[in-house]
Structure 1
Amino acid sequence: MKAGAGERFLRLLIEHTGDPVVVEATVRAARSRSEMVAALPEEETRRHTRALMAGVLDAVRGEGPGEDVLAAAERLGSDRARQGVPVAAFLDGFQAARAHLVRTLIAEGRRTGVPDAVLLDGVTRIDEITTALVHRMVHAHRIAELEMARTVREGRVQMLRQLLHGESVPVLAPLAPSGAYHCVVSDVSDPAVAARLEPELLAAGPGLCGLVDGRLAALVARLPEPPRACPLLVAAPPMPPAAIAPMYALGRRALRAGAAAGLTGLRELADLALLTATEGEPELGGLLAAALPGGLDPDDPFHVELAETALAYLDHGGRIEPTAAALHVHGNTVKYRIRRIQEITGRPLLDPSAGAAVSRAAHWWWALRRWLALARS
């Protein structure tokens, strides 16, 4: 823009950016375009409008927007983020204000005889400046959003940690003090894997996820459909937040037992009760392993095969065909192996005619699991 022409446009800009009537009309334009901006106090919009109009004027006078102007743009973006105004909504208001100011300048310039070429150069310069300001506003808005999200999330995860550790803490959103939540525990320590699992855990209802004691844990109002091909997750029955800490401790024990057994997927804590209890008493399990399958030789592969078949037989309720399907062998093979292990040990695996049949079967199951663990070690 030539010096003389630039001075004409600058005078036009000075007159209108300092005109209270133009400022108020620009404020109204911004508020009319964005409902969320309009919901803010009018003085809030006016404050930022004045600062940015003054900044545009200074930038046109100089080589471009200075640090004060850019700082004003950053404050606008940051303030709108903290006020809960999305970036699209506040940009709608900003662009409406810019458009109104440009239209006013063009109309007044033409009225006073400013050449169109001068007006075009001036408007182009304003667009260059406002583009730079928009970049700063959007960047500041995003930074503020990230800071707030991190602060909110950190506060929620800290509440989750305190609840799971049994500390007395106010129960805040997204949890409800009167609600009941499943405590879900895992051994997932990789933040990237945890981030992929969180949406699946929260898909069925409100809840809260986070890394507690270095592992992904969650409180969820409803259990989701079991995630596909996921690591072992142990879910306790629903409890109020104040009573969740014992479920967390028990769930961690069940998780260790389930992991040692090679389990994966979402499992309910009650389904792992026997496994958890037996894993917690290795010495007692060792006594049973020495007493019941005492005739088996852990160094004999055939005897290990017999023990594996017997354990599968117990896991399938003493039914031949399901056991054979699980082991991928013929039903007669299962019958033969069951007969052989009973001959070698001198004890029946299942004896409904005897008293305490359930505890006898449980003892055999415990003994075989422990015996196999020792044989494989």
Structure 2
Amino acid sequence: MSVQSGAAAPLERVIAAMAVQQRRLGARLHADLAGHIPSYRAVPRELLDEIWHRHFRRALTVLRAGTVPAPEDFDEADVARDRAAQGVPLSDGLRAFRQALSAIRDLFIAEATRRELDPGLIVDRTTCLWELTDVASLRIAAVHRQAEAASALLDARRRADFLRGLLHGTLSTAEIHGGAAVYGLDPSRPYRAIRAVPNGDVAPGALERSLEYHGRRHGRGALLTLLDDTVAGVVEAKPEIGDLGVVAGLGPPADLTAAHHSFRAAGRLLEAARAYALRGVYDLSDLSWRVAVVAEPELAELLLDRYLRPLEAEGEFGALIEESVRGYLDNGRHIREVARSAHVHVNTVRYRLRRFEELTGTSLDAPDTAVELSWALAARELRTSPSDPAGWDSPSIMR
């Protein structure tokens, strides 16, 4: 409703009376916010006064013009960012804003009624203030969410930068202790570096959150991020992952200042677990010497040539020899157990083992033969594994 010349003066008197009460009303509102919205207790009084002044002046402009600005004309970005920076949740910010506009609306109605402003004009301007509340609330919500998203992204980057420096050994002791305080790690405790990749349909981001959740159970510390195409970080203890689709390497316990050594070990363990097509979280006690099979492909080739490739000339019988030799080692050199598992006579097993010794020129009773043959069989397992064919000797995770 446009203001006719006869109503303009009374409306200006109402607006002037309201302006006189801005400071008093703001002080009362500030006390109310601090008393009923805990997140506002940490917001400086000067900032609240500035925000209140902005809201009050905008409301008076709307009362005078009888129109509400378009959403894009609201300069709420700074206000929303300030609220987010002060840790004020969006719900609290909107509650405070509506409370402020409600106080302004009540003041307008009281002053307009006292000065007998035209009832139609009172209704029209009150409706404008309601519309101002709705439009501004939507704008505040949108900008606040943008500010929260930007803040979360910045925090994620800082978190990743801290972990990258920690795991690659580029941080000073002071930087490690400072970051530990920020991210809830205890420098007096040992941590184990972990490096993981999805095994199945789980997304990397979901894997990161799940591993950190499992790592933090029972009051333990954990901090993870996405790093160099893997989920990486530190945990206090081996995570209990249940059915989570993951393959991970877990380094040995170390002080945070030596976490980069544990991280290198975790990379080697992850590479080995992937090469053997395993699923779960593995440390050195799980994989033992098999880690070295992955790390030493040249030695694996030598032992394959010595112990297994001579069997290939025997065709299908050579495969049976390899099966019996593998069973012989797996069953603690008990020939009867090998025969029972393979459903053959013990003399058949003895013949296959003798033939193995003839073809390779070795003795199964020699200690070196048991070690080297186990190594060669593990290398053969890698070659027939359904895992990534480039994974077992790839340098990408071995770093």
Residue in structure 1 matched with residue 117 of structure 2 by the alignment: 114
Residue in structure 2 matched with residue 16 of structure 1 by the alignment: 18
Cα 1:252–1:65 shift into 2, 3 Å: same
CA contact 1:185–1:234 (8 Å) conserved in 2? yes
- C-alpha displacement of 1:361: 3.3
CA contact 1:292–1:364 (8 Å) conserved in 2? yes
Residue in structure 2 matched with residue 197 of structure 1 by the alignment: 207
Residue in structure 2 matched with residue 240 of structure 1 by the alignment: 255
**TM norm structure 2:** 0.78
- C-alpha displacement of 1:182: 1.5
What is the aligned counterpart of 2:189 among 179, 183, 186?
179
Matches within 5 A, 1:256-335: 256-293=271-308, 295-297=310-312, 300-301=315-316, 303-304=318-319, 306-308=321-323, 310-311=325-326, 314-315=329-330, 332=343
Cα 1:119–1:214 shift into 2, 3 Å: same
Moved more, 231-240 or 298-307: 298-307
Is 1:95 the equivalent of 2:106? Answer: no
**Aligned to 2:194, what secondary structure does the other structure show?**
strand
Matches within 5 A, 1:41-120: 41-62=44-65, 63-65=67-69, 70-71=74-75, 73-120=76-123
Is 1:228 the equivalent of 2:243? Answer: yes
- C-alpha displacement of 1:16: 0.9
Q: Provide the rounded CA distance (Å) in 2 between the counterparts of 1:56 and 1:101.
A: 8
Cα 1:116–1:281 shift into 2, 3 Å: same
Residue in structure 1 matched with residue 395 of structure 2 by the alignment: none
In structure 2, stretches of 5+ residues that fail to align are 359-363, 390-399
Q: Provide the rounded CA distance (Å) in 1 between the counterparts of 2:124 and 2:335.
A: 90
Question: CA offsets per residue over residues 159-181 of structure 1, 9 Å max, x none?
Answer: 11112212133121313332321
Question: CA offsets per residue over residues 293-341 of structure 1, 9 Å max, x none?
Answer: 46411783553355356446645656899999xxxx9652597885454
Is 1:164 the equivalent of 2:167? Answer: yes
Q: Provide the rounded CA distance (Å) in 2 between the counterparts of 1:191 and 1:293.
A: 37
Cα 1:320–1:233 shift into 2, 3 Å: farther
- C-alpha displacement of 1:200: 1.8
Cα 1:99–1:345 shift into 2, 3 Å: same
In structure 1, stretches of 5+ residues that fail to align are 348-352
Residue in structure 1 matched with residue 397 of structure 2 by the alignment: none
CA RMSD in angstroms comes to 3.6
CA contact 2:14–2:108 (8 Å) conserved in 1? yes
**Aligned to 1:53, what secondary structure does the other structure show?**
helix
- C-alpha displacement of 1:9: 4.8
CA contact 2:272–2:294 (8 Å) conserved in 1? yes
- C-alpha displacement of 1:360: 4.5
CA contact 2:335–2:349 (8 Å) conserved in 1? no
- C-alpha displacement of 1:157: 0.8
Cα 1:80–1:317 shift into 2, 3 Å: farther
Question: CA offsets per residue over residues 103-156 of structure 1, 9 Å max, x none?
Answer: 222233333333554333222101111222222222222222222222222112
CA contact 2:338–2:349 (8 Å) conserved in 1? no
**TM norm structure 1:** 0.82
What is the aligned counterpart of 2:232 among 214, 217, 220?
217
Q: Provide the rounded CA distance (Å) in 2 between the counterparts of 1:30 and 1:193.
A: 42
**Aligned to 2:343, what secondary structure does the other structure show?**
helix
Number of aligned residue pairs: give it. 365
CA contact 1:163–1:242 (8 Å) conserved in 2? yes
CA contact 1:55–1:65 (8 Å) conserved in 2? no
Identity over the aligned pairs, expressed in percent? 24
What is the aligned counterpart of 1:146 among 130, 136, 149?
149
Q: Provide the rounded CA distance (Å) in 1 between the counterparts of 2:29 and 2:136.
A: 17
- C-alpha displacement of 1:100: 1.9
CA contact 2:276–2:381 (8 Å) conserved in 1? no
CA contact 1:33–1:93 (8 Å) conserved in 2? no
Residue in structure 1 matched with residue 394 of structure 2 by the alignment: none
Cα 1:231–1:375 shift into 2, 3 Å: closer
Residue in structure 2 matched with residue 3 of structure 1 by the alignment: 3
CA contact 1:183–1:236 (8 Å) conserved in 2? yes
Instruction: Tell me the amino acid that sits aligned with residue 12 of structure 1.
Output: V
Instruction: Tell me the amino acid that sits aligned with residue 85 of structure 1.
Output: V
